[in-house]
C-alpha cells in the first residue's frame, strides 16, 4: 500500500477539503485527487463523498481511517528504529566479564546520555557479517586471523593490549611466585577449554604455543568461567591464562592466584572494528573516547603474533 496515498487520505479526512489538504501537503489539488483515486481503486471502495462543504468520509472511509493512522504511526516507528541518533548504538563484545565489556562500561559512564545495545556474537566472521549488514555498529575483536585480512569497507583501530596473567590454585607449583616468565611455563599444563578452533583467539594461542613451547590444552566441554575456576582450584597440575582486565569472582576458600607473566609479557590485542559508511553519530564519540582513555600500545617487553594489525 502506498504510504504517501495513505498520508494524503488522512490529511483530507482531517482537513475536510481536498484543497486545504493539498495546501497542508504542499501539493496541487490535482495531485491529491490522483492519490486518493489510486487508493480507492486499490481498496475497491469509495473513501470520500464530495459535498458543497468539501469532502466527507463514506462509511468505508470511516472504517479505514483508524487503520490508516496506525499505518503512518507504524511507518514512523520503523524509520525511527534505524535512524542514526534515534536508536541505540549497537556494540558487540565477546563476553560480559571481558576487558572489552570493561571498555564499554567506561564509555557508558562517561556518556550516559548515549543509549547502548550490547551484543555478544561468537567469532570474527559473524561479527564482520553483522557490521556489513548494519545489524551492529561496532565490534571489539582481538585480531585479524592470519590469512583473513579485513574487508576493504571495514575499518579498525587497536584500543587495548591486555597483559595475560597465569591463574593457579593454591597448591600449584607456581602459586607462590610473584611473577613467572614464559620460559618457566614450559612443561606446565595450561587448560583453556574455551578455545574454539577457527576463532581469532585460537589463532592467537596457537602462535603463543609455537613461539614459546607451551602446553595449552583445550580438551573437555566448556562449562563457563565458574566451572573453570573450580577445576583450577581443585587440580594442582592445571593452570590457565586470564586477561589482566577480566573481571572474576570466586569463593574466598578457592585461594586462587593471579600471577603476572613476563619475559616477555604476552598481550592480547583488542581492536574496535566498524563499517566505514556507518553514519551513527555515537560511533564517532565511542572512537574518540577509546582513543583518549586507553593505554599506549606496542609497549617494550611485550609479545604479539606478527600478524596482529599494527597500531
Query: Which SS3 state, helix, strand or coil, does residue 134 take?
Result: coil
**Secondary structure percentages of the chain, helix, strand, coil, to 5:** 40, 20, 40
CA distance 218 to 22: 70
Which CATH number goes with the domain that contains 132?
3.40.190.290
Claim to verify: residue 73 and residue 188 sit in the same structural domain: no
Claim to verify: residue 206 and residue 291 sit in the same structural domain: yes
Claim to verify: residue 122 and residue 229 sit in the same structural domain: yes
Claim to verify: residue 233 and residue 271 sit in the same structural domain: yes
User: What pLDDT is attached to residue 85?
Assistant: 62
User: What pLDDT is attached to residue 242?
Assistant: 93
Q: How many domains does the chain have?
A: 2
* Domain finish residue from 29, 49, 82: 82
Residue ranges making up the domain that contains 143: 89-303
User: What pLDDT is attached to residue 309?
Assistant: 64
Question: In angstroms, how far is the first alpha carbon of the chain from the final one?
Answer: 51
List the chain residues with pLDDT less than 70: 81-82, 84-86, 143-148, 295-298, 309-311
Whether 293 is in a domain gets the answer yes
User: What pLDDT is attached to residue 300?
Assistant: 77
User: What pLDDT is attached to residue 207?
Assistant: 94
Whether 265 is in a domain gets the answer yes
Cell 550490547 identifies what position? 118
Cell 487520505 identifies what position? 9
Whether 77 is in a domain gets the answer yes
User: What pLDDT is attached to residue 275?
Assistant: 93
| pTM score, whole prediction | 0.70
Q: What are the strands, taking DSSP E only, across the chain? A: 48-51, 54-57, 89-92, 116-119, 138-141, 154-168, 180-181, 189-191, 215-217, 238-243, 257-262, 265-275, 302-303
Claim to verify: residue 108 and residue 30 sit in the same structural domain: no
Claim to verify: residue 59 and residue 96 sit in the same structural domain: no
User: What pLDDT is attached to residue 307?
Assistant: 80
User: What pLDDT is attached to residue 182?
Assistant: 95
Claim to verify: residue 236 and residue 108 sit in the same structural domain: yes
Mean pLDDT of the chain: 90
Per the CB < 8 A criterion, the answer to whether 282 and 85 are in contact is yes
Q: What is the pLDDT of residues 42-87, one digit of tens each?
A: 999 999 998 888 899 999 999 999 999 999 988 887 887 667 666 8
Which CATH number goes with the domain that contains 44?
1.10.10.10
Claim to verify: residue 69 and residue 93 sit in the same structural domain: no
* Domain finish residue from 55, 82, 109: 82
User: What pLDDT is attached to residue 297?
Assistant: 59
User: What pLDDT is attached to residue 211?
Assistant: 95
Amino acid at each position: 500500500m502506498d504510504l504517501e496515498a495513505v498520508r494524503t487520505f488522512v490529511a483530507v479526512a482531517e482537513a475536510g477539503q481536498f484543497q486545504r489538504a493539498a495546501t497542508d501537503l504542499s501539493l496541487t489539488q490535482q495531485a491529491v485527487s490522483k492519490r486518493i483515486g489510486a487508493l480507492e481503486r486499490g481498496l475497491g471502495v469509495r473513501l470520500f463523498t464530495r459535498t458543497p462543504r468539501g469532502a466527507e468520509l463514506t462509511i468505508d472511509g470511516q472504517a479505514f481511517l483508524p487503520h490508516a493512522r496506525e499505518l503512518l504511526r507504524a511507518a514512523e516507528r520503523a524509520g525511527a528504529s534505524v535512524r542514526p541518533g534515534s536508536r541505540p548504538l549497537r556494540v558487540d563484545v565477546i563476553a560480559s566479564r571481558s576487558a572489552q565489556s570493561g571498555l564499554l562500561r567506561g564509555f557508558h559512564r562517561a556518556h550516559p546520555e548515549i543509549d547502548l545495545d550490547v551484543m555478544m556474537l561468537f567469532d570474527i566472521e559473524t561479527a564482520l557479517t553483522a557490521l556489513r549488514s548494519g545489524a551492529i555498529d561496532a565490534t571489539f575483536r582481538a585480531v585479524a586471523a592470519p590469512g583473513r585480512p579485513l574487508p576493504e569497507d571495514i575499518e579498525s583501530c587497536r584500543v587495548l593490549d591486555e597483559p595475560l596473567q597465569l591463574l593457579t590454585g593454591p597448591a600449584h607449583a607456581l602459586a607462590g611466585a610473584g611473577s613467572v616468565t614464559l620460559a618457566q611455563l614450559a612443561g606446565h599444563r595450561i587448560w583453556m577449554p574455551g578455545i574454539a578452533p577457527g576463532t581469532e583467539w585460537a589463532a592467537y594461542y596457537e602462535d603463543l604455543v609455537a613461539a614459546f613451547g607451551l602446553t595449552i590444552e583445550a580438551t573437555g566441554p566448556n562449562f563457563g568461567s565458574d566451572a573453570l575456576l573450580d577445576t583450577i582450584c581443585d587440580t594442582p597440575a592445571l593452570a590457565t591464562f586470564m586477561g589482566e582486565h577480566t573481571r572474576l569472582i570466586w569463593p574466598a576458600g578457592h585461594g586462587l592466584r593471579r600471577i603476572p607473566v613476563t619475559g616477555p609479557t604476552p598481550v592480547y590485542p583488542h581492536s574496535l572494528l566498524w563499517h566505514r559508511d556507518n553514519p551513527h553519530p555515537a560511533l564517532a564519540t565511542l572512537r574518540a573516547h577509546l582513543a583518549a582513555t586507553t593505554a599506549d600500545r606496542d609497549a617494550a617487553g611485550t609479545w604479539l603474533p606478527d600478524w596482529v594489525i599494527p597500531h
